[in-house]
């Protein structure tokens, strides 16, 4: 025996009691409203932890503020910007930061693409290799930097021990004691830690490149190198642009690796703008100057990113389509 629910006669079926009481309290929401509700926590968090600090940093860049003497905080106009732009250390930090960023990105990209190509094969146990590759990326930077300080220790470090034991060098290398070697060591650390990020991005893209393209190139007589140039690279172009932009921004802003490994030394030879900003803010308690440095960094990166995206033609194909 069927129970007549009223269905099929133009009226909706009656709702269970709990649902109808819920509807009384919560009116039916449109898809847009539900979507907004879902992203609201992220918007609120973003506003609080990202937008507000940026606004506060921009505001502070125009004030003289020593946190130990909050009663003497005063508006100083562009004085903080004048201070940093006339400070030779700011320009040294900018140049060193640029060198560290460019070389780090160059090596990360070259190594990342090479390793991704090697891993883009179906071999037994390849998944294990792919998993292991993530190790440097997932270990906290502070752990890595402190371990590397010991590894690079000229007297008792394992790197020198291995190099001397294998006869590759006769005397210890002073990895962190000369400006050039310290810069090279910080770049080495950055490349080692973040190459896996490039590998992951490139590998994901490689795995979605249609096999037919390679087959067609093979039929046309293209060798491995030609296939890489004419098939693989164009397919990787978009992902590489994104990776380079992100890695550039992150590396240029990087603070903890340099600070933990060399503290910006020897001298100030590995200072970048993030370390400079920290020193001004915390060691010198000139929070306005530190904030002004952050604002200048933000502007530099914004301009750099826009120029790079324009020059590289990112998204041009989609726009054309």
Partner 1 sequence: MRPSRAITAKSCIHRRDFLASGAALALVTSGHRSNAQSSKTGTVRVWGEPGPYGGVAVAAMNEWAQKNAPGLKFEIETIPWDGVYVKLMTDLAARRPPGLISVESPIAMQLMAEGLLEPLDDVSQTVGRDRLADKLKWEYFGAWTSKQYIMPAHHQPHLLLVRTDISKELGLSDPDGWSWNDLANAARTITQKKPEMAGICMALGRNLCTDYHFAALLHQAGGRMFDQRNKFEVAFDSPETAEALEFVRELQQFMPKGAVEYSFLQVVDAHVTGKTAMSFYWGRTLGRAAEEAKPIFEATEAFNHARNPRTTRRSNWNDFQGWCIPARNNPFVEEAKQALTYYLKSTPWLVKYCHSLMPNVAPVFKDQAESAELRNHPFYQSKARAVDTYFNTSLEHASSTANELLQGVNPFAGIVHGRSILAQTVQKVVIDKMSPRDAAKWGARELDSVRKENMQLVN
Q: Which residues bind partner 1 (CB under 8 A)?
A: 67-69, 72, 153-156, 172, 174, 176-179, 182, 262-269, 279, 282-285
What minimum distance in Å lies between the beta carbon of 89 and partner 1? Answer: 10
What minimum distance in Å lies between the beta carbon of 191 and partner 1? Answer: 21
Alpha helices in 61-178 (DSSP H): 79-85, 88-119, 126-133, 135-138, 141-151, 158-165
Q: Which is nearer to partner 1, 285 or 301 (CB)?
A: 285
Residue in the structure block whose two tokens are 């004691």? 177
The pair of structure tokens assigned to 225 is: 């190198």
CA dist 201 and 242 (Å) reads 9
Exposure of 16 in the CB half-sphere (CA atoms within 13 A): 3
Count of Cβ atoms closer than 10 Å to residue 174 Cβ: 15
What minimum distance in Å lies between the beta carbon of 145 and partner 1? Answer: 14
Q: What is the DSSP string of 184-222?
A: HHHHHHHHHHHHHHHHHHHHHHHTTS-HHHHHHHHHTT-
What minimum distance in Å lies between the beta carbon of 67 and partner 1? Answer: 3
Query: Checking phi first, is residue 313 left (phi over 0); if not, alpha (psi -120 to 50) or beta?
Result: left
Strand-pair partners of 74: 64
CA dist 119 and 305 (Å) reads 30
Q: Which is nearer to partner 1, 187 or 260 (CB)?
A: 260
CA dist 320 and 93 (Å) reads 41
What minimum distance in Å lies between the beta carbon of 154 and partner 1? Answer: 5
- Is 133 exposed, middle or buried, given 0-12, 13-18 or 19+ CB atoms closer than 10 A? middle
What minimum distance in Å lies between the beta carbon of 140 and partner 1? Answer: 18
Q: Which is nearer to partner 1, 237 or 263 (CB)?
A: 263
Q: What is the DSSP string of 14-81?
A: PPPHHHHHHHHHSPPPPHHHHHHHHHHHHHHHHIIIIIHHHHHHHHHTTEE--TT-GGG-EE-TTHHH
Q: Which is nearer to partner 1, 153 or 253 (CB)?
A: 153
Q: Which is nearer to partner 1, 9 or 74 (CB)?
A: 74
Q: Which is nearer to partner 1, 174 or 250 (CB)?
A: 174
What minimum distance in Å lies between the beta carbon of 136 and partner 1? Answer: 24
Asked if residues 97 and 259 have their Cβ atoms less than 8 Å apart, the reply is no
Q: Which is nearer to partner 1, 190 or 281 (CB)?
A: 281
Q: Which is nearer to partner 1, 62 or 65 (CB)?
A: 65
What minimum distance in Å lies between the beta carbon of 51 and partner 1? Answer: 22
């Amino acid at each position: 025996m069927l129970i007549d629910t009223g269905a099929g006669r133009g009226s909706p079926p009656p709702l269970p009691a709990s649902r109808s009481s819920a509807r009384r309290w919560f009116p039916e929401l449109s898809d847009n409203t539900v979507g907004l509700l879902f992203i609201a926590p992220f918007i609120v968090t973003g506003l609080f932890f990202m937008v507000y600090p940026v606004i506060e940093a921009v505001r502070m860049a125009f004030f003289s503020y020593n946190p130990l003497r909050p009663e003497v905080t005063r508006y100083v106009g562009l004085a903080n910007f004048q201070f940093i732009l006339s400070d030779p250390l700011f320009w040294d930090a900018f140049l060193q930061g640029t060198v560290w960023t460019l070389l780090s990105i160059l090596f990360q990209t070259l190594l990342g693409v090479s390793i991704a190509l090697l891993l883009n094969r179906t071999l037994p146990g390849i998944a294990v290799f792919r998993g292991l590759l993530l190790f440097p990326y997932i270990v906290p930077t502070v752990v890595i930097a402190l371990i590397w300080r010991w590894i690079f220790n000229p007297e008792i470090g394992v790197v020198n021990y291995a190099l001397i034991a294998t006869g590759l060098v006769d005397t210890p290398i002073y990895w962190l004691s000369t400006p050039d070697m310290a810069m090279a060591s910080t770049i080495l650390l950055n490349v080692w830690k973040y190459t896996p990020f490039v590998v992951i991005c490139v590998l994901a893209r490689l795995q979605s490149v249609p096999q037919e393209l390679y087959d067609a190139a093979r039929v046309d007589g293209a060798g491995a190198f030609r296939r890489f140039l004419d098939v693989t690279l164009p397919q990787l172009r978009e992902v590489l642009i994104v990776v380079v932009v992100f890695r550039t921004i992150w590396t240029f802003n990087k603070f903890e690796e340099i600070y933990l490994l060399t503290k910006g030394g020897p001298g100030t030879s590995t200072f970048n703008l993030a370390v400079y900003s920290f020193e001004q803010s915390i060691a010198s308690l000139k929070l306005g100057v530190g904030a002004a440095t952050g604002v200048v960094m933000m502007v530099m990166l914004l301009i750099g990113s826009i120029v790079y995206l324009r020059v590289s033609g990112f998204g041009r194909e989609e726009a054309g389509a």
